[in-house]
């Protein structure tokens, strides 16, 4: 067969040469001179996939110069020469030494040449020829992208395209039927089918329901040779999923649902959840819920949860078991996304009944009002009832209520509430200027259940009463220039009043009666709550009088009228030409300008020596008094009492005279005198009256009763005296005390008063207190007027 194919190729080439020569003769080109050529050919054909044991013979090369004597050598070059194809250099036979595959390489381009074996030179030029590999059906069709996934809606109609498949065959499509593919379905009937030529998979059974079956596996075959017997075939799998459509209506599992909720649940609390189930999925199963009827439409509400599947029932208004113990709700659940192709399968909604029971809860007491507002004048009497608060137990038990005030809201304890009646009253005086508003919290507690407590806010506004007098600031001072003229304004004064009358303040000013006719200053009321202080004369001088005290009488216009007298301090000052104050102190004495520096040093030295002498004299005087005191702790005038030892009682004769306790009136005549001090004045204990604490009918005579009464009297005085120090022992001083004519000279009680002591009474005590009167008393001297 192969030899015949090679001969056919040679004949075809020879016929071509004959035709070309005839053409040249017909055209007058003259006879064609024949060029002697060793061989003539065009191409060789060979079948692929040769499986024989011997090399495959392809064809034979022969040159006319070859006389058969072995002088010609054939050489083969080109694609596959020496590796895939070989040539017998003596005979020119060509063989394939490898298995040929058209799908790997369809043709080979080779070159052949005849050489003189003796001279090793080519006898003719190279000639090319082609070896074509002829196809055989050795490749089955393949689905390169398999397996395949496809999705179609459920309930699709017959003929709906599912997917288009394409199988690839590596064989030569131009040679025979090796690459002509036909499709068929092996698995998936009767639901699906495939078109034989196009490979389109279509629905072949209508009404497929996803809720019945969702997934299908279809096997498709592709066969070459036009599907004839002996063709090669390849298969693939198509997994088909039915997508959901809204073709199923929702439905509640129960016709009646029972729920309960405590009455104390706040508004917005969740009562329960319900669901209308739908066989569809995704958006086709989403629901919306509504209350369409029932006596609880205004009390409860329903909403859809974020998944759009459940209905959430919540409280819309406060519940009260005593008012209504149960409610009925008619609830509808409906699909939100409808498919108009399947409306005939509806209706796509369902209705159910929900019964809600309200549970009784022990509730705290409730007040008749949410908040109270009260107004109380600041001069209200202590104990006045402001308001009666009322609360009740909302439960059926109706327990008794007890009232109290949350003390954290009334830290000053200004108010009190009756525990049973709820009467709110004052217990301390109220002062608007101190606290204008009192915000207190009233607590109501059930008698049988102290844990149930209700609270109420009470706002008490303190109304103003004119109980404060207007006055100038605490210390008010101004100045007047020495060059001031008569009628010149010295100061504008304005009073302050902590009261807050409704019509505003109206102050009236005038000079106090004792200063109304003074020759120095006058006052003008401006009728705008201010007043001017004016001079009545000129010729002011610091040397004559440096300070004036002007009493100003101020009253307000409210009822009851409040008045006060404030003092304005006016200093005489030296001023410059523009009236600016330069100095308000008396002019100091100026030394002559001619005094030398040496004289100044001498004066300072004399002053220094004088100071040294004074300090020395004071030191000697203090040393002279020290021997009179044995021990600092024994000095009874220091009032230092030691608490780390026990008193000596009657045996301690150094601390006090025991005879003074038996008869205090004669204590200065008998007994041992103190050795640690020398009395400088005569004892005044004889003027001390003895208090009788025995009561009516009891004798306060001598003996034990005198001592007993004296001790009890002193004990009573100590108990009533809040400023008395807590001494552990009784000390008797015969020189002064509350019972003496001179009263007490001690400074222990000075802390009880913030005012300065006045010692003018020392002038009335006689010559013994003359020195003290001169030191502390006020001598009657002629002083300039105060205003």
pLDDT tens-digit map of 294-320: 999 999 999 999 999 999 999 999 998
- Cα dihedral angle (645, 651, 652, 653), rounded to 10 degrees? 180
* Band of residue 693 on the pLDDT scale cut at 50, 70, 90: very low
- Which pLDDT score is estimated for 450? 85
Strongest mean pLDDT among 349-353, 465-469, 581-585: 349-353
CA distance linking residue 87 with residue 77, whole number of Å: 10
Q: Which residues contact 182 (CB under 8 A, 6 or more apart)?
A: 196, 197, 222, 223, 224, 226, 227
Cβ-count burial 256-266 (b if 16+ within 10 Å, e if not)? ebebebebbbe
Q: Is the model's pLDDT at 349 over the cut of 80?
A: yes
Q: Which of 79-88, 169-178, 249-258, 304-313 has the least mean pLDDT?
A: 169-178
Mean pLDDT, residues 732-749 taken together: 51
- Which pLDDT score is estimated for 23? 40
Mean pLDDT, residues 36-43 taken together: 51
Contact 132, 148 (CB under 8 A): no
CA distance linking residue 209 with residue 342, whole number of Å: 13
Report the sign of the C-alpha dihedral through residues 246, 248, 249, 251, in that order. negative
Q: What is the DSSP letter of 734?
A: S
Task: Output 598 or 263, whichever has higher pLDDT.
Answer: 263
Question: DSSP letters of 256-313?
Answer: EEEEEEETTPPTT-EEEEEEEE-SS-GGGG-EEEEEEESTTTTTEEEEE-TTSSEEEE
Q: pLDDT tens, 409-451? A: 999 999 999 999 999 999 999 998 889 999 999 999 988 888 8
CA distance linking residue 200 with residue 184, whole number of Å: 10
| Closest to 367 in 3D by CA, of 349, 345, 387, 390 | 390
Q: Is the model's pLDDT at 590 over the cut of 70?
A: no
* Band of residue 712 on the pLDDT scale cut at 50, 70, 90: confident
CA distance linking residue 246 with residue 278, whole number of Å: 9
- This prediction's pTM: 0.43
Contact 169, 126 (CB under 8 A): no
Peptide bond into 147 cis (omega under 30): yes
Strongest mean pLDDT among 2-16, 107-121, 191-205: 191-205
Q: pLDDT tens, 440-472? A: 999 999 888 888 888 999 999 999 888 888 988
Q: pLDDT tens, 135-183? A: 777 788 999 988 999 999 999 999 999 999 999 888 878 777 888 899 9
Contact 300, 313 (CB under 8 A): yes
Q: Is the model's pLDDT at 79 over the cut of 50?
A: yes
Q: Which of 488-502, 606-620, 734-748 has the least mean pLDDT?
A: 734-748
Q: Is the model's pLDDT at 740 over the cut of 70?
A: no
Q: Is the model's pLDDT at 14 over the cut of 80?
A: no
Q: Which of 63-72, 322-331, 669-678 has the least mean pLDDT?
A: 669-678
Q: Is the model's pLDDT at 783 over the cut of 60?
A: no
Cβ-count burial 216-230 (b if 16+ within 10 Å, e if not)? bebebbbbbbebeee
Q: Which of 6-20, 67-81, 234-248 has the least mean pLDDT?
A: 6-20
pLDDT above 90 covers what percent of the chain?
35
Q: What is the DSSP letter of 540?
A: -
Mean pLDDT, residues 1-17 taken together: 39
Strongest mean pLDDT among 30-39, 58-67, 676-685, 758-767: 58-67
Neighbours of 74 (CB within 10 A): 23
Helices and strands per DSSP (H, E), number in the chain: 5, 40
| Closest to 62 in 3D by CA, of 128, 2, 114, 124 | 114
Chain centroid to CA 188 = 64
- Which pLDDT score is estimated for 318? 92
- Please state, in angstroms and as integers, the Cα–Cα distance from residue 530 to each residue in 5, 357, 492, 500, 511, following that order: 144, 75, 7, 17, 13
- Which pLDDT score is estimated for 746? 53
| Closest to 141 in 3D by CA, of 50, 238, 48, 236 | 236
Alpha helices in 626-703 (DSSP H): 658-662
Strand partners, 441: 457
- Which pLDDT score is estimated for 394? 82
CA distance linking residue 296 with residue 65, whole number of Å: 121
- Which pLDDT score is estimated for 634? 46
pLDDT above 70 covers what percent of the chain?
76
CA distance linking residue 636 with residue 736, whole number of Å: 13
Q: Which residues contact 63 (CB under 8 A, 6 or more apart)?
A: 38, 39, 72, 74, 92, 114, 123, 124
- Which pLDDT score is estimated for 229? 83
Report the sign of the C-alpha dihedral through residues 675, 677, 682, 687, in that order. negative
- Please state, in angstroms and as integers, the Cα–Cα distance from residue 152 to each residue in 183, 187, 190, 216, 243, following that order: 21, 18, 16, 11, 6
Mean pLDDT, residues 391-405 taken together: 85
Q: Is the model's pLDDT at 2 over the cut of 60?
A: no
Q: What is the mean pLDDT of the chain?
A: 78
Contact 130, 107 (CB under 8 A): yes
Question: DSSP letters of 394-415?
Answer: -STT---EEEEE-GGG-TT--E
Cβ-count burial 667-679 (b if 16+ within 10 Å, e if not)? bbeebeeeeeeee
CA distance linking residue 524 with residue 522, whole number of Å: 7
Q: What is the DSSP letter of 26?
A: H
- Which pLDDT score is estimated for 46? 78
- Which pLDDT score is estimated for 332? 94
- Please state, in angstroms and as integers, the Cα–Cα distance from residue 549 to each residue in 469, 478, 585, 673, following that order: 21, 10, 16, 53
- Which pLDDT score is estimated for 679? 42
């Amino acid at each position: 067969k192969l030899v015949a194919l090679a001969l056919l190729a040679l004949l075809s080439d020879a016929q071509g040469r004959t035709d070309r020569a005839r053409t040249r003769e017909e055209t007058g080109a003259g006879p064609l001179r024949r060029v002697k050529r060793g061989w003539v050919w065009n191409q060789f054909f060979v079948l692929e996939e040769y499986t024989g044991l011997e090399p495959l013979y392809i064809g034979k090369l022969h040159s006319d110069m070859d006389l058969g004597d072995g002088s010609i050598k054939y050489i083969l070059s080109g694609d596959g020469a020496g590796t895939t194809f070989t040539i017998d250099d003596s005979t020119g036979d060509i063989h394939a030494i490898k298995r040929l595959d058209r799908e790997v390489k369809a043709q080979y381009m080779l070159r052949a040449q005849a050489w003189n074996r003796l001279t090793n030179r080519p006898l003719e030029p190279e000639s090319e020829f082609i070896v074509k590999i002829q196809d055989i059906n050795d490749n089955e069709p393949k689905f390169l992208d398999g397996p395949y996934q496809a999705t179609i809606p459920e309930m699709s109609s017959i003929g709906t395209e599912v997917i288009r498949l394409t199988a690839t065959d590596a064989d030569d499509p131009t040679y025979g039927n090796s690459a002509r593919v036909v499709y068929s379905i092996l698995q998936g009937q009767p639901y699906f089918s495939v078109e034989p030529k196009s490979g389109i998979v279509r629905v072949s059974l209508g009404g497929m329901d996803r809720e019945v079956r969702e997934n299908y596996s279809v096997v498709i075959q592709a066969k070459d040779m036009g599907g004839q017997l002996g063709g090669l075939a390849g298969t693939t799998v198509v997994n088909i999923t039915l997508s959901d459509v809204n073709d199923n209506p929702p439905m509640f599992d129960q016709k009646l649902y029972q729920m309960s909720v405590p009455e104390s649940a706040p508004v917005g609390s969740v009562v329960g959840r319900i669901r209308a189930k739908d066989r569809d999925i995704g958006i086709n199963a989403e629901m919306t819920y509504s209350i369409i009827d029932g006596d609880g439409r205004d009390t409860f509400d329903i909403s859809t949860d974020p998944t759009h599947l459940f209905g959430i029932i919540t409280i819309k208004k406060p519940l009260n078991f005593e008012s209504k113990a149960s409610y009925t709700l008619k609830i509808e659940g409906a699909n939100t996304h409808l498919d108009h192709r399947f409306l005939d399968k509806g209706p796509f909604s369902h209705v159910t009944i929900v019964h809600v029971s309200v549970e009784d809860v022990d509730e705290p007491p409730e007040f008749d009002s949410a908040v109270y507002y009260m107004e109380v004048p600041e001069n209200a009497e202590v104990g006045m009832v402001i308001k009666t608060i009322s609360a009740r137990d909302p439960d059926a038990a109706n327990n008794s209520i007890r009232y109290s005030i949350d003390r954290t809201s009334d830290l000053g304890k200004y108010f009190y509430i009756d525990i049973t009646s709820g009467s709110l009253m004052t217990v301390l005086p109220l002062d608007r200027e101190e606290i204008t508003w009192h915000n207190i919290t009233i607590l109501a507690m059930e008698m049988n259940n102290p844990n149930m407590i209700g609270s109420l806010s009470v706002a008490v506004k303190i109304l103003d009463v004119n109980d404060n007098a207007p006055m100038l600031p605490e210390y008010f001072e101004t100045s007047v220039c020495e060059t001031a003229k008569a009628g010149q304004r010295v100061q504008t004064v304005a009073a302050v009043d902590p009261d807050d009358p409704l019509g505003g303040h109206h102050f009236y000013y005038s000079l106090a009666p004792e200063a109304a006719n003074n020759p120095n200053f006058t006052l003008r009321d401006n009728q705008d709550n201010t007043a001017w202080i004016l001079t009545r004369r000129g010729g002011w001088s610091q040397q004559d009088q440096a300070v004036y005290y002007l009493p100003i009488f101020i009253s307000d216009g409210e009822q009851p009228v409040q008045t006060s007298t404030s003092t304005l301090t006016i200093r005489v000052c030296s001023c410059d030409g523009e009236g600016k104050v330069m100095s308000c102190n008396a002019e100091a004495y100026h030394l002559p300008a001619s005094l030398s520096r040496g004289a100044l040093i001498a004066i300072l030295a004399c002053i220094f020596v004088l100071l040294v002498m004074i300090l020395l004299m004071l030191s000697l005087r203090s040393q002279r008094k020290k021997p009179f005191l044995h021990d600092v702790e024994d000095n009874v005038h220091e009032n230092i009492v030691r608490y780390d030892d026990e008193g000596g009682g009657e045996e301690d004769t150094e601390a006090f005279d025991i005879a003074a306790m038996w008869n205090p009136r004669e204590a200065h005549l008998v007994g041992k005198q103190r050795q640690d001090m020398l009395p400088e004045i005569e004892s005044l204990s004889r003027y001390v009256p003895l208090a009788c604490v025995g009561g009516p009918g009891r004798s306060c005579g001598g003996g034990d009763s005198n001592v007993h009464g004296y001790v009890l009297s002193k004990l009573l005085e100590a108990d009533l005296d809040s400023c008395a120090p807590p001494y552990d022992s009784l000390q008797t001083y015969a020189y002064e005390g509350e019972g003496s004519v001179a009263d007490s000279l001690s400074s222990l009680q000075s802390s009880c008063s913030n005012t300065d002591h006045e010692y003018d009474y020392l002038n009335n005590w006689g010559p013994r207190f003359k020195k003290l009167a001169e030191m502390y008393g006020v001598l009657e001297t002629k002083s300039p007027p105060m205003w």
